[in-house]
């Protein structure tokens, strides 16, 4: 899948999330949005997008469980399992984030050829050796 398609789908989910009135509907949409943006961040190499949605996903899952009025013990169990999955995923994604400048595939322009510096004298071509006069 092309990263732009996933990015636009994630953006559409974000708009749907902001249009929700009920937390029971908002939080699953927000979690789906986070998952879509995590995929987009990975595919497009956008570290800030990836980091933000890796941080927001467990928060949205936690609030979703609270909105569904799951008992405190059950929320604790879900959080414990979720934190293990989140930590595993976050640790697995660290190599992707190292050395990442935050996105874009642009390369630095090539340096122009080195010119002689103004402090060094110009280089002259080597002189030809003198020739002896011929005796005609």
Contacts with 52 (C-beta within 8 Å, 6 or more apart), sequence order? 37
CB 27 within 8 A of CB 70: no
Domain boundaries, the chain: 3-97
pLDDT in tens for each of the 136 residues of the chain? Answer: 689 999 999 999 999 999 988 878 899 999 999 999 999 999 999 999 999 999 999 999 998 888 887 665 666 676 667 666 656 655 555 554 454 444 445 555 566 665 555 565 556 666 666 676 666 6
List b or e across 93-104, with b for residues whose CB sees 16 or more CB atoms inside 10 angstroms: beeeeeeeeeee
pLDDT attached to residue 59: 94
């Amino acid at each position: 899948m092309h990263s732009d398609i996933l990015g636009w789908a994630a953006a559409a989910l974000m708009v749907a999330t902001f249009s929700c009135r009920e937390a029971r509907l908002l939080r699953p949409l927000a979690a789906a949005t986070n998952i879509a943006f995590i995929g987009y961040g990975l595919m497009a190499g956008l570290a800030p997008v990836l980091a933000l949605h890796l941080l927001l996903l467990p928060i949205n899952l936690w609030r979703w469980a609270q909105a569904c009025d799951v008992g405190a013990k059950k929320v604790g169990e879900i959080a414990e399992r979720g934190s293990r999955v989140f930590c595993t995923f976050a640790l697995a994604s660290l190599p992707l984030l190292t050395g990442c400048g935050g996105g874009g595939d642009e390369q630095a322009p090539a340096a122009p050829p080195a010119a002689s510096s103004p402090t060094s004298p110009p280089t002259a071509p080597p002189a030809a050796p003198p020739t002896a006069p011929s005796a005609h």
